[in-house]
Structure 1
Amino acid sequence: MSTWRVRDAHAHDLEGIVRLWERSRAAGIEPVYALAEVLTSASEDIAVVAAVGDQIVGAAVGRRAHNQAWVVFHGVDDSWHGQGVGPALLAALETRVAHAGPTTLSALVPTAQTHLEAFRDAGFAEKKAVRYLERRLPVQRAEMALLAELGGRVLPRGLWDGVAGMRREKDLIEKRLVLPLAEPSLAERYGVAPPRAVVMFGPPGTGKTTFAKAIASRLEWSFVEVFPSRLAADPAGLAGALRDTFHRIAELEHAVVLIDEVEEIASHRRGDPPSPLQGVTNELLKIIPAFRERPDRLLVCATNFIRSLDSAFLRHGRFDYVIPIGLPDAEARRAIWTRFIPPAAASAVDSDALVHASEGFTPADIEFAARRASQAALEAAVRTGIAGHGDDAGGGAGTGPTAGVGPTTGDYLAAIAATRATVSEDVAAEFAEDTEGFGRV
């Protein structure tokens, strides 16, 4: 049998490390660290390989973390077990780690792994009274630079729960979009194809962008918003910039992509000669099918004017669902108001009056009125030199038990009266017609 030797890993050795990692999975042993983590550490931290000529028969990859280092991967080709390759790799890894300063070299191995002699021979002691907990970070380090170039980000967890009210829309989106995307194996078992692209339409300020962000937060996927107006300044032109942007998005592992005000680039194609934007619309119509071929991504196109979209853009096969996002009903308005009324003042505020007075308001309208009431109450308290207002409906100053707790019912009603609703009655009526004519859920 040929002689093996241990050496530092080089870039061309990564293929051999991938092969060893994949063989461990094929043997029914799920590695503790994902392949992306192993390859990142092999490229940027410490890695050694056992080679026979050009063939990689073993590898050990380490990662330094302050005064501790971890064995991220240790694998030996089955035909080379018992030849001393495993302990030699760990010893070489330890030597290289020691120069970096860590005082401990630790290893996590799957419970199904039986070849532990290499670790024991290398001086590792098994710690019994230890529980291993982990959380997989949704976006790996190698993706962060690309995400930053695209102007995307990883949104904080909890945005989904933060969407107040809108129960009908949330239930629909939870069932149609989130569930199949979050549980693809379960969806496949029932013959459900996870959605790849959807349109959300409705009056301005009803929360279409908020829902797109909440979906990304709920799935823990990267969020990228594409702004046609910004792409228009690209030297390649809007169509070329759009194509290049989606090529780069394809490199992300998971992503929710939002094109807001999509009517800017997907309006009805008409006119002879064709308008300059027709080429952009044609490009977008080509991009969507290619986007749909990749799993673990969702395109959300949002519009306030669904009637203006090109008929070819909305046809079956491009978008799985066309979802109306309308004005919040009474229950939703109550939930939204609850978010903005300070807890100390909540018991003194007549929420029924606020819900009734804000009928026809969008979530954005309610937020504006709530903040306006809070600001007015604060200014009045400072101006009059008292802690706050009383709880009378007129919003005058008071000295009773509720004085000083914050805005009153009167403050909120005054703010509502001074707030112009974003959506007029005519627009609301048009939306009801569009829901019947365009909605596809």
Structure 2
Amino acid sequence: MTSMRLRDYQPADMDAVLRLWDEVRTEGVEPVYALAEVLASCEKDYAVVAADGDRVLGVAVARAAHDQGWIVFLAVTAPARGSGIAGKLLAALEQRMAPSGLTKLSILVPDEQQQIGALTRAGFADRAHLSYFEREIPVKQRELAVLRDLGGRILPRDLWGSIAGMQTEKELLERRLVLPLADPGLADQFGVQAPRSIVLFGPPGTGKTTFAKAVASRLQWPFVEVFPSRLAHGPQGLAGGLRETFTRIAELDHVIVFIDEVEEIAGQRGGEPPSAMQGVTNELLKIIPAFRDSPGRLLICATNFIRALDAAFLRHGRFDYVIPIGLPDAAAREAIWGRYIPEQAAESIDLALLVARTDGYSPADIEFAARSASQAALEQSVFGVSSVEWAAGPEGALTGPSTADYLAAIDRTRATVSSTEAFEFREDIAALART
């Protein structure tokens, strides 16, 4: 189902919805809403379809009532269950309904329904112990315009779970960030001050941005990335642009603010005459304490070169934690390879060998090697110009790249992080990390 996509319901999908309706009832589940109501909502309200080519794999249908959205039908065909389609349908439905000012999305589930797990994983909670599930829509209507102006967004709910491996980093972020921020009442009971700002540091391409987005996904807070290079071209200049941006951010109830490559605007100050960037660094140092005064927000700064940051920038009181993010471990490398190896070739690939051969590679390095091997396989299938061995089906038809193709691509891919950089990273952990 690599070609699965989500789209709005179309009249031509009616037969597929009817088949899903019949499939649900055949399994002994009687839908809460009548078929006529479901079809009417498909035409007049909100309906999203998951499709693989011309084949409909699932559908989610909802209607609005005041400030609450009600899901009237949610179904995924049996062969596609367990692949996360239900959660994706629910997320797409929420994105379409949130601009109408809705604050909750609810669903009534028959006692016989077997897919309750998909609802709990998607953030719904059983409120009345009557198979009644609801979840809060994280962004209120009044915040949508602000979020749009800032270029922010609500990220899919499943990003945290999609990070395989890296258990040390995940557990640290879960305990230090997510736990106190998700349940401030519990944190307050134990005298824990929820973090307001952190630094993620590590070599290039190690997934710092991915972890920042995953935290926003886990909390279901809006994610706003600040791009200093864009602000620098504004009429107020970089310092003024930063000040105005954070003033607008203060209008949001909850938010994750992310600044990548923060060393560009928070580098070491000094020298005569003072550089123009010193004023920007000073402005950022003023912004952070004001940002930290309000609950429900977290600033995440990422840097590849933590040694380049101004000493005042990293001191206690400005950042709660300074967390290292290193190269992917074996479990993470295996998961990354799994994303890019085609399904039809997967059984013939020595995945353990690829994982071992890419020790010290960043996620971006592995992605490049995987895509390079796939491109070479495509060219071989069309032009027959490759010199490496190819995976073949039972009748000799080419099915995709082989282990040899991937190994050849690995050999052609230079690791982003050198041994010197890896050594310096370990030194930085000892000298600067605060976890």
TM-score, L = length of structure 1? 0.67
Structure-2 residue corresponding to 1:98: none
Query: Secondary structure at the residue paired with 1:299?
Result: strand
Question: Unaligned regions of 5+ residues in structure 2, if any?
Answer: 1-61, 69-105, 107-129
User: Which is worse superposed, 325-334 or 309-318?
Assistant: 325-334
Residue 327 (str. 1) matches residue 331 (str. 2): no
Question: Unaligned regions of 5+ residues in structure 1, if any?
Answer: 1-65, 73-107, 109-129
Structure-1 residue corresponding to 2:363: 363
Residue 422 (str. 1) matches residue 416 (str. 2): yes
- Alignment deviations for residues 354-400 of structure 1 (CA, whole Å, 9 cap, x no partner): 01211110011111111211222122223349xxx9xxx95236454
Shift of 1:347: 2.1
Query: Secondary structure at the residue paired with 2:206?
Result: coil
The separation in 2 between residues aligned to 1:68 and 1:342, in whole angstroms, is 40
> What one-letter code is carried by the residue in structure 2 that aligns with 1:410?
A
Structure-2 residue corresponding to 1:219: 219
Query: Secondary structure at the residue paired with 1:224?
Result: strand
The separation in 2 between residues aligned to 1:189 and 1:359, in whole angstroms, is 43
Structure-2 residue corresponding to 1:317: 317
Q: Classify 1:381/1:253 alpha carbon distance in 2 versus 1 (closer, same or farther; 3 Å).
A: same
1:344-423 correspondence runs (5 A): 344-384=344-384, 395-396=389-390, 398=392, 400=394, 404-423=398-417
**In the alignment, is the contact (CA less than 8 A) between 1:255 and 1:297 conserved in 2?**
yes
Residue 280 (str. 1) matches residue 262 (str. 2): no
**In the alignment, is the contact (CA less than 8 A) between 1:147 and 1:153 conserved in 2?**
yes
> What one-letter code is carried by the residue in structure 1 that aligns with 2:432?
F
- Alignment deviations for residues 244-267 of structure 1 (CA, whole Å, 9 cap, x no partner): 110100101111000111011101
Q: Classify 1:293/1:397 alpha carbon distance in 2 versus 1 (closer, same or farther; 3 Å).
A: closer
Q: Classify 1:428/1:67 alpha carbon distance in 2 versus 1 (closer, same or farther; 3 Å).
A: closer
Structure-1 residue corresponding to 2:244: 244
Query: Secondary structure at the residue paired with 1:153?
Result: coil
User: Which is worse superposed, 183-192 or 291-300?
Assistant: 183-192
Query: Secondary structure at the residue paired with 1:257?
Result: strand
Query: Secondary structure at the residue paired with 1:135?
Result: strand
- Alignment deviations for residues 75-98 of structure 1 (CA, whole Å, 9 cap, x no partner): xxxxxxxxxxxxxxxxxxxxxxxx
**In the alignment, is the contact (CA less than 8 A) between 1:201 and 1:208 conserved in 2?**
yes
Query: Secondary structure at the residue paired with 2:136?
Result: coil
**In the alignment, is the contact (CA less than 8 A) between 2:344 and 2:399 conserved in 1?**
yes
Structure-1 residue corresponding to 2:178: 178
What number of residue pairs does the alignment pair up?
Answer: 314
1:2-401 correspondence runs (5 A): 70=66, 132-384=132-384, 395-396=389-390, 398=392, 400=394
**In the alignment, is the contact (CA less than 8 A) between 1:348 and 1:402 conserved in 2?**
no
Structure-1 residue corresponding to 2:5: none
Q: Classify 1:271/1:416 alpha carbon distance in 2 versus 1 (closer, same or farther; 3 Å).
A: same
**In the alignment, is the contact (CA less than 8 A) between 2:390 and 2:398 conserved in 1?**
no
Percent identity over the alignment is: 63
- Alignment deviations for residues 14-60 of structure 1 (CA, whole Å, 9 cap, x no partner): xxxxxxxxxxxxxxxxxxxxxxxxxxxxxxxxxxxxxxxxxxxxxxx
Q: Classify 1:190/1:67 alpha carbon distance in 2 versus 1 (closer, same or farther; 3 Å).
A: closer
- Alignment deviations for residues 136-157 of structure 1 (CA, whole Å, 9 cap, x no partner): 1111122111111111111112
> What one-letter code is carried by the residue in structure 2 that aligns with 1:200?
L
Shift of 1:421: 1.0
The separation in 2 between residues aligned to 1:221 and 1:249, in whole angstroms, is 12
The separation in 2 between residues aligned to 1:134 and 1:361, in whole angstroms, is 42
